[in-house]
């Protein structure tokens, strides 16, 4: 005798409006529906592609020239992408040629802006310039002096310590591709460190994450970064001792 099976209640269904996370996707027997399974595999492929993506150096360099700042092309101690993934320590240090280059530009300034590929050059290619279009005018209006912009290949967050120190800046801001998620392969992170120097660890930095059209907007990210940078200069510190007290920002 065939029984009528009540339709499954999905209490999380309404939350899909507010997140791109995979919730309430349903099921077919003991598995998920075919459409959702294929979407998951596609997202996984996008994440893998992002990890192995490369900075569009030529296009980024052309775009960054609009800020009337010199653009330095730098390289970590990593020689290829597989080594980058296997040796995070090498991605945190500049190679000798890059150290020599920044030493030629070292003049006391307020802020060094570093743009590094990180774990998603895709995120940098798509978002870094658009964020800087909002952020650099805020710095300029507040009379912060800027070093040349640094484009870094095979870099990790801590490489900003070497660069900021070599350029003699009071604060270093690193824009870097974040580890890709299965719903965000294009997420840009911003890390700021007051008084950068070699050997610092993560508790000395502040992070603003998920900067992208589908996450934290460029305007809101720029406001948060500018607030934290301004507070860092007032308090002469960054990291766990520096809190974001701005509250929720309007979209």
Summarize pLDDT for 217-240 with one digit per residue, the tens: 999 999 999 999 999 999 999 999
CB 52 within 8 A of CB 121: no
Residue 17 falls inside a structural domain:
no
Residue 46 falls inside a structural domain:
no
Q: What pLDDT was estimated at residue 246?
A: 74
Domain count, the chain: 1
74 pLDDT more than 50: yes
Residue 39 falls inside a structural domain:
no
Question: Tokens representing 173?
Answer: 């801001």
Helices (H) and strands (E) in the chain, counts: 8, 6
| 100-126 average pLDDT score | 93
> What is this structure's pTM?
0.86
Give the pLDDT confidence of 12-57 residue by residue, as tens digits.
777 777 777 777 777 777 788 777 777 777 777 776 766 778 999 9
Residue 207 falls inside a structural domain:
yes
**φ and ψ of 241, to 5 deg:** -85, -10
**φ and ψ of 60, to 5 deg:** -60, -40
Residue 199 falls inside a structural domain:
yes
Q: What is the dihedral of CA 162, 168, 172, 177, to 10 degrees?
A: -40
Q: What is the residue range of 103's domain?
A: 55-241
CB 75 within 8 A of CB 83: no
The enclosing domain of 124 has a CATH number of: 3.40.50.11240
Residue 29 falls inside a structural domain:
no
What span, in angstroms and rounded, lies between the C-alpha atoms of 163 and 149? 10
Q: What pLDDT was estimated at residue 114?
A: 98
Q: How far is CA 236 from CA 95, 130, 187, 195, in A?
A: 29, 28, 29, 8
Residue 28 falls inside a structural domain:
no
């Amino acid at each position: 005798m065939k029984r009528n099976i009540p339709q499954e209640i999905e209490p999380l269904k309404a939350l899909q409006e507010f997140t791109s996370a995979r919730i309430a996707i349903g099921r077919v027997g003991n598995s998920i529906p075919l459409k959702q399974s294929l979407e998951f595999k596609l997202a996984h492929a996008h994440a893998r592609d992002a990890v192995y993506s490369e900075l569009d150096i030529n296009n980024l360099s052309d775009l960054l020239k609009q800020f009337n700042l010199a653009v330095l092309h730098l390289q970590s101690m990593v020689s290829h992408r597989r080594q980058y993934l296997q040796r995070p320590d090498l991605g945190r240090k500049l190679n000798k040629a890059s150290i020599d280059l920044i030493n030629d530009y070292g003049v006391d300034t307020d802020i060094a802006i570093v743009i590094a590929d990180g774990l998603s050059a895709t995120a940098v290619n798509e978002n870094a310039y658009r964020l800087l279009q909002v952020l650099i005018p805020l710095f300029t209006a507040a009379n912060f002096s800027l070093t040349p912009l640094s484009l870094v290949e095979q870099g990790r967050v801590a490489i900003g310590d070497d660069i900021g120190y070599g350029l003699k800046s009071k604060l270093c801001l690193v824009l870097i591709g974040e580890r890709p998620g299965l719903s965000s392969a294009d997420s840009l992170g911003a890390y700021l460190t007051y008084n950068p120097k070699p050997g610092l660890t993560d508790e000395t930095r502040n992070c603003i994450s998920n900067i992208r059209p589908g996450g934290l907007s460029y305007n809101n990210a720029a406001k948060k970064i500018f607030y934290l940078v301004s507070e860092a200069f007032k308090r002469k510190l960054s990291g766990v001792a520096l809190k974001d007290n701005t509250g929720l920002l309007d979209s």
